[in-house]
Amino acid sequence: MHLDPITLNNGVTMPRLGFGVSGSRDTRAAVSEALAQGYRSIDTAAVYDNETAVGAALAGSGLPRADLFVTTKIWNVGRGRGGALRSARESLDRLGLDHVDLLLVHWPNDDLEPCLRTWEAMEQLLADGLTRAVGVSNFRPSHLRRLRGLGGTAPAVNQVELHPHHQQRELQQVHAALGIVTGAWSPLGRGAVLDEPVLRGIAERHGVTPAQVVLRWHLAQGTVAVPKSDSPERIAANRDLAGFALTGDELRAIAALDVPDGAGRIGPVPDRVDRIAA
Ligand SMILES: NC(=O)c1ccc[n+]([C@@H]2O[C@H](COP(=O)([O-])OP(=O)(O)OC[C@H]3O[C@@H](n4cnc5c(N)ncnc54)[C@H](OP(=O)(O)O)[C@@H]3O)[C@@H](O)[C@H]2O)c1
């Protein structure tokens, strides 16, 4: 089934559809609603400043820990081995958890040495059971090749900006070659793609919303999407994807919405973000 979990390169399974909490107006309420609607994967980060609220919602849900998949990310101040170890432990304290399921390096760093030290810390956290899988975010092919060149544990996931206007095909090919799962942030293009006539037309044909079409497209191409919403109706609708499937023609029409040369990007260009997270 399209919502079956995806298996990461170390055998850990991850839900294909998660719930993002960056910029949530009331994170505890949004996560509580998402859990009540059936989401089991929550995507947070140290820098979102809402891990405590996420933890409160998780605890308040009464759901068994084993049923939940929690991702957090080491922010740019968590540089080097000591900084990354400290950052991860502080995140766990705020979340009220003894481990997360996926820990990501939030942004790449062009400086090899601190990158190596951060990745050593990630491996240590994995070995110590403080996370079940380790990965990266916003890494470009050059960053991934450099990280793999260090040897050691391969990242399980690279979470990047990905939506119909910014489809990241080259990067997805690199992921496939390296056994890395593609995570999609801003999977709805922060709402900006939803007015596309192509998406509206497909949505009308299936009696669904453009957002549901976009999320179905993510599932069809194997990307793990983490849409964010504060609205209970949208939280529910964004997970209600089982009743329709996109045709080959529809998938091709969405593929054609990609804006060339990365010009459809809405977030920062990874190479230009200040020397980060290593
Ligand atoms: N790794 C990274 O560097 C990185 C960067 C950015 C984001 N992320 C992660 O990705 C998650 C999602 O990204 P995002 O929040 O930037 O963008 P997004 O999920 O693509 O879009 C969220 C926006 O779309 C609206 N929306 C949600 N469902 C909708 C629907 N069914 N119809 C119409 N509008 C809808 C939301 O408004 P309402 O809330 O009003 O519904 C919100 O304004 C974040 O929360 C975060 O967890 C990671």
Largest CA distance in the chain: 54
Regions of the chain with pLDDT less than 70: 1-2, 77-78, 110, 112, 271-278
Q: How far is the CA of 23 from the centre of ligand 1 (A)?
A: 8
Query: What's the pLDDT score for residue 272?
Result: 62
Query: What's the pLDDT score for residue 2?
Result: 64
Query: What's the pLDDT score for residue 77?
Result: 67
Instruction: Specify if 275 maps to a domain.
Output: no
Query: What's the pLDDT score for residue 276?
Result: 42
Query: What's the pLDDT score for residue 1?
Result: 46
Catalytic residues: 48
Overall number of domains in the chain:
1
pTM given for the model: 0.97
Instruction: Specify if 49 maps to a domain.
Output: yes
Q: How far is the CA of 235 from the centre of ligand 1 (A)?
A: 11
pLDDT tens per residue, range 93-103: 999 999 999 99
Instruction: Specify if 206 maps to a domain.
Output: no
Pocket of ligand 1 (CB under 6 A): 20-23, 43, 106, 137-138, 159, 185-191, 194, 209, 211, 226-231, 234, 237-238, 267
Q: What CATH number does residue 30 fall under?
A: 3.20.20.100
Instruction: Specify if 130 maps to a domain.
Output: yes
Instruction: Specify if 18 maps to a domain.
Output: yes
**Domain extent for 94:** 6-188+222-229
In three state form, how does the secondary structure of 62-131 look?
A: CCCHHHCEEEEEECCCCCHHHHHHHHHHHHHHHHCCCCECEEEECCCCCCHHHHHHHHHHHHHHHHCCCE
